[in-house]
Amino acid sequence: MGINSNRVDHYSDSGHANQGQTTDTTTAPVTITVSGEAMTSLTVHNVCLPPQKSTLQKLRHRLSEVFFPDDPLHGFKNQSRLRKLVLALQFFMPIFEWAPNYSFTLLRSDVVSGLTIASLAIPQGISYAKLANLPPIIGLYSSFVPPLMYSVLGSSKHLAVGPVSIASLVMGTMLTEAVPYNQDPVLYLKLAFTATFFAGVFQATLGLLRLGFVIDFLSKATLVGFMAGAAVIVSLQQLKGLFGIIHFTSKMQIIPVLSSAIQHRNEWSWQTIVMGFCFLAFLLATRHVGMRKPKLFWVSAAAPLASVILSTLLVTLFRSKLHDIATIGHLAKGLNPPSSNMLYFHGKFLGVAIKTGIITGILSLTEGIAVGRTFATLNDYQVDGNKEMIAIGLMNMAGSCSSCYVTTGSFSRSAVNANAGAKTVVSNIIMASTVLVTLLFLMPLFHYTPNLILAAIIITAVIGLIDYQSAIRLWKVDKLDFLACLSSFLGVLMISVPIGLAIAVGVSVFKILLHVTRPNTGVLGNIPGTQIYQNVNRYREAKRVPSFAILGIEAPIYFANSTYLQERILRWIREEEDWLAANNGSSLRCVIIDMTAVTGIDTSGLAMMKDLKRMLEKRSLQLVLANPGGSVTEKLHQSNILESFGLEGVYLTIDEAVADISSSWKSQP
Q: Tens digit of pLDDT for each residue in 638-668?
A: 888 888 877 678 898 899 889 888 888 877 6
Q: How high is the pLDDT of residue 585?
A: 67
pLDDT at residue 129 greater than cutoff 80: yes
DSSP label of 24: B
Amino acid 43 reads T
Q: How high is the pLDDT of residue 96?
A: 86
Query: To which H or E segment does residue 592 belong?
Result: strand 590-594
Contact yes or no for 605/562 (Cβ under 8 A): yes
For residue range 360-372, list pLDDT tens digits in order: 998 898 888 888 8
Query: To which H or E segment does residue 551 belong?
Result: strand 548-553
Contact yes or no for 76/84 (Cβ under 8 A): yes
Alpha-carbon distance 92 to 594, whole Å?
46
CA neighbours closer than 13 Å in the CB half-sphere of residue 216? 7
pLDDT at residue 16 greater than cutoff 60: no
Q: How high is the pLDDT of residue 495?
A: 84
Closest among 639, 103, 154 to 414, alpha carbons compared: 154
275 pLDDT band, cuts 50/70/90, is very high
CA distances from 74 to 20, 32, 93 (A): 26, 51, 17
For the chain, what is the radius of gyration of the CA atoms?
Answer: 32
pLDDT at residue 574 greater than cutoff 80: yes
Beta pairing partners, 522? 552
Task: Tell me the average pLDDT of the chain.
Answer: 84
Q: How does 199-225 read in b/e, with b if 16+ C-beta sit within 10 Å?
A: bbbbbbebbeebebeebeebbbbbbbb
Q: How high is the pLDDT of residue 540?
A: 87
Alpha-carbon dihedral sign for residues 475, 480, 481, 483: positive
Give percent of the chain above pLDDT 90.
31
> How do the domains of the chain map onto residue ranges?
105-326+336-510, 519-667
Closest among 114, 109, 139 to 127, alpha carbons compared: 139
208 pLDDT band, cuts 50/70/90, is confident
Which comes out higher in pLDDT, residue 304 or 581? 304
Alpha-carbon distance 435 to 335, whole Å?
10
Contact yes or no for 531/641 (Cβ under 8 A): no
Closest among 252, 257, 278 to 131, alpha carbons compared: 252
Q: Where would I find the H helices in 55-214?
A: 55-67, 81-92, 95-98, 104-131, 136-141, 145-153, 165-178, 185-208
Alpha-carbon distance 491 to 499, whole Å?
6
Neighbours of 21 (CB within 10 A): 12
466 pLDDT band, cuts 50/70/90, is confident
187 pLDDT band, cuts 50/70/90, is very high
Furthest CA-CA distance within the chain: 111
Q: How high is the pLDDT of residue 141?
A: 96
* CATH class of the domain comprising 519-667: alpha beta
pLDDT at residue 7 greater than cutoff 60: no
pLDDT at residue 38 greater than cutoff 70: no
Q: How high is the pLDDT of residue 36?
A: 47
Q: How high is the pLDDT of residue 22?
A: 39
DSSP label of 17: B
DSSP label of 624: E
25 pLDDT band, cuts 50/70/90, is very low
Q: How high is the pLDDT of residue 400?
A: 96
Amino acid 162 reads G
pLDDT at residue 476 greater than cutoff 50: yes
Contact yes or no for 414/159 (Cβ under 8 A): yes
Question: 28, exposed or middle or buried, with CB in 10 Å at 0-12, 13-18, 19+?
Answer: exposed
For residue range 499-554, list pLDDT tens digits in order: 887 887 787 788 888 888 888 898 999 999 888 899 888 888 888 888 899 999 98
Beta strand extents in 397-540 (DSSP E only): 408-409, 521-526, 533-535
Alpha-carbon distance 188 to 195, whole Å?
10
Q: How high is the pLDDT of residue 20?
A: 41
Contact yes or no for 637/650 (Cβ under 8 A): no
Average pLDDT over residues 456-464: 86
* Weakest mean pLDDT among 44-48, 105-109, 229-233: 44-48
DSSP label of 445: G
pLDDT at residue 406 greater than cutoff 50: yes
34 pLDDT band, cuts 50/70/90, is very low
Amino acid 82 reads L
Q: Would you state the torsion angle of the CA atoms of residues 538, 541, 547, 548, taken in this order, to the nearest 10 degrees?
A: -40
Q: How high is the pLDDT of residue 12?
A: 36
* Weakest mean pLDDT among 41-55, 222-236, 283-297, 457-471: 41-55
For residue range 301-324, list pLDDT tens digits in order: 888 989 999 999 999 888 777 777
Beta strand extents in 458-529 (DSSP E only): 521-526
Q: How high is the pLDDT of residue 68?
A: 67
